[in-house]
Structure 1
Amino acid sequence: MDFSVVIPVYGCKEALPELHKRIVDVFEEMEASFELVLVDDHDPYDSWSVVQSICEADERVYGIKLARNFGQIRAITAGLDCCHGDWVVVMDCDLQDRPEAIPQLYNKALEGFDVVFAKRVERKDSALTMALSRAFYKVYEYFTDGSYDPSLCNFSIARRAVISQYCSMREHNRGYTMFIKWLGFRQTAIEIVGDERFAGESSYSFRKKLNMAFELITAQSNKPLKFAVNVGFAMSFVALLVLIAAIVQKICVPGIQVGWTSLLCSIFFMGGLILSAIGIVGLYVGNIFTEVKNRPLYVIEKECNGKDE
């Protein structure tokens, strides 16, 4: 198998027939063998019926339905675990990623790269979405001591060796782009213009993005713990200076009144810092609890054109 295309499916069933047609056209023009792996992440809008119909019409399409919604990255992992191509393409199902750009990614890889990412230019997202994305990557860079480009997306092509190493990483709090970059290998990116979403809308709410940010940072870095320790020492030093100043002031001005307001503010302020530090430690303990249970990353409910069948 020359190529595998792995696509998580959620909330855009109307785009699937067009997506399948354009992918087939691309690989037939390239005269390459391929498989298309569609992973239904338990879409409540019945994308599975469309996946089944595409599988019945084309045996090169492998359909997977997960038993519940496990999230986009785990759906990608399910597809990567089951694919067989020498080169593996990962892309979204809403046609913001153009299938016609796959030859560009592949030709760039042939220059000697193991991974080629698509770098979206002229993104069709809102200004708020792009600002939040940039802010997240700045925070992520700080806490992980890495360098990440917010314009990079999951749309990429990678050699089988890279995908095998990615699949060997079974952390529950996972990313795709970040993990692939962490693996190393020879990587690059090319600029690709994205299209408007063909159907559906993004399922990533602000709350989901915030939770994902916390999960990724605490799963890959212990810097927040060091940050909490540094803040604690800094506040202790400031408190010591204030205490010394209060003693000197009391000695120099014997009749000065002690204020309850400042005392209460100090108590609440220090209490908040302590709770924050405990909360950060709790996040790491929670990550350990999740990992030691060693539950599967996903559960497959149904398959179409699967090897077992």
Structure 2
Amino acid sequence: MPKLSIIIPCYFNELNIPLTGAELLANEQNFPPDVTFEYVLVDDGSRDGTWNALCRFKEQHPEKVTVVKLAGNVGSYNAIVAGMAQATGDCVAVITADLQDPPQLLAQMYAYWEQGFKLVLANRADREEGPVQRVVSNTFHYLMRRIALPGVPTGGFDMVFFDRQLCSEVVRLQERNSNVFYLLVWLGYPYVSIPYTRRKRQVGRSRWTFSKKVKLFVDSLLAFSFFPVRAISVLGLLLGLSAMSYGLFLLVLRLTGAPEPEGWTALMLVLLFVSAFQMIALGVIGEYVWRGLDASRNRPMYVVETVQLATKGDPLENGKSKTNTFG
């Protein structure tokens, strides 16, 4: 009897939980009758009534719902890893709590898993959002496809379905400042992709701010590509060749007695350009160095405050916070 664990990271989703829970439960009828379900909902340090909404959902379905409360906000990807550490299913799915990704795709993804695919992606072929959001998202995923992970589906993906083996690998890696979805692809297993149209958010306000998007882009790029460091090397070489060529040009002018170019503006322009390049190069190198330092500290990716396990007995309540680095 196969068991499916569905992980839902939650952040300021108090109003979404009743709707999402009801739709997920109704979606169970699309699966074969022998499939059992486990829902792992992770409160990523929300400061509204999200945790209370999760507890109410847990009380209604104690045998199939596990809720995890993190001590602080660590980001949705770390929250997903926290959910992976608690998941006990033979296969695992990740879906958002705002219902922008249709749960109806899960049954189709499960069918591919039964066929032997250990990773199934649902990629966004289109989205019911504004033009600015589309341009930003498409640009991000285009750059990642070109310079970080060639071959990943266009449009990006936030809804994934994967085997227990991949879940264990990701939890074991405990990779910080990364992109857990791209990490699943990076593992190298063959996968299949299902295109869909992402829905417009109907309830609540998105907390996916511009600064978080920038951080995700930087984390994803540096975690899966050496392009920034290689680009610095190439630009430095081009600047060096340009300086050498200009020096030879001045030498020829001096030897032939031709008038040499003069101008404070040109000199300052070159100086500012080179200085800006040096600062950008130091910043990129510093990002890599900081990530190495963060990994060497070996701090936990998240701190679990409370866990209520899916069980017919009494739920597990931790009276104090505990660190959890493996699950």
Task: Name the TM-score class by shorter chain.
Answer: over 0.9
Aligned pair 1:192/2:196, yes or no? yes
In the TM superposition, what are the counterparts of 1:252-271 in structure 2 within 5 Å?
A: 252-254=256-258, 256=260, 258-271=262-275
Please say if residues 40 and 67 of structure 2, whose CA atoms lie closer than 8 Å, have aligned partners that are also in contact: yes
The match for 2:12 is: 11
Q: 2:26 is matched with which residue?
A: 25
Q: CA deviation at 1:256?
A: 4.6
Looking at structure 1, the residues matched to 279 and 124 of structure 2 have their Cα atoms a distance apart, in angstroms, of 40
Amino acid at match of 1:13: E
Q: Which amino acid aligns with 2:162?
A: A
CA 257–196 in structure 1, closer or farther in 2 if over 3 Å, else same:
closer
TM-score (norm: length of structure 1): 0.93
User: 1:172 matched to which residue of 2?
Assistant: 176
Structure 2 residue aligned with 1:297: 301
Unaligned runs of 5+ in 1: none
Q: 1:9 to 1:257 in 2, by over 3 A?
A: closer
Give the structure 1 partner of residue 238 of structure 2. 234
Contact 1:141 1:147 in 2 (8 A): yes
Task: State how far apart, in whole Å, the 2-side matches of 1:77 and 1:256 are.
Answer: 63
Cα offset for 1:52?
A: 0.7
Uncovered stretches (5+) of structure 2, i.e. residues with no partner: 318-327
Post-superposition offset of 1:277: 1.5
Tell me the CA shift for residue 260 of structure 1: 2.1
Aligned partner of 1:42 among 33, 37, 45: 45
Q: Deviations over 1:154-189 (max 9, x none)?
A: 212111111111211211112122111111222001
Separation in 1, partners of 2:161, 2:145: 24
Q: How many residue pairs were aligned?
A: 309
Structural mapping, 1:1-309, within 5 Å: 2-28=3-29, 30=31, 31=33, 32-59=35-62, 60-144=64-148, 146-254=150-258, 256=260, 258-305=262-309, 308-309=316-317
CA RMSD of aligned residues (A): 1.9
Instruction: For residue 68 of structure 1, report the CA deviation from its aligned partner.
Output: 0.6
User: Partner letter of residue 73 of structure 1?
Assistant: Y
Deviations 1:4-62 (A, max 9, x none): 11000112221211211221222255332111111011112220010011111111111
Percent of aligned pairs with the same residue?
Answer: 26
Change (3 A) 1:182 1:257: closer
**The structure with more helix, counted as a fraction of residues:** 1
For 2:139 and 2:209, the matched residues in 1 are separated by 16
| Closer, same or farther: CA 3–251 of 1 in aligned 2, 3 Å | same
Q: What is the CA–CA distance in structure 2 between the aligned matches of 1:79 and 1:257, rounded to whole Å?
A: 65
Is the Cα contact below 8 Å between 2:16 and 2:97 reproduced in 1? yes
What TM-score does the superposition give when structure 2 sets the normalisation length? 0.88
CA distance in 2, matches of 1:238, 1:255: 21
Tell me, what secondary structure is at the counterpart of 1:99?
coil
Distance 2:134 2:253 in 1: 51
Q: Which moved more, 1:297-306 or 1:77-86?
A: 297-306
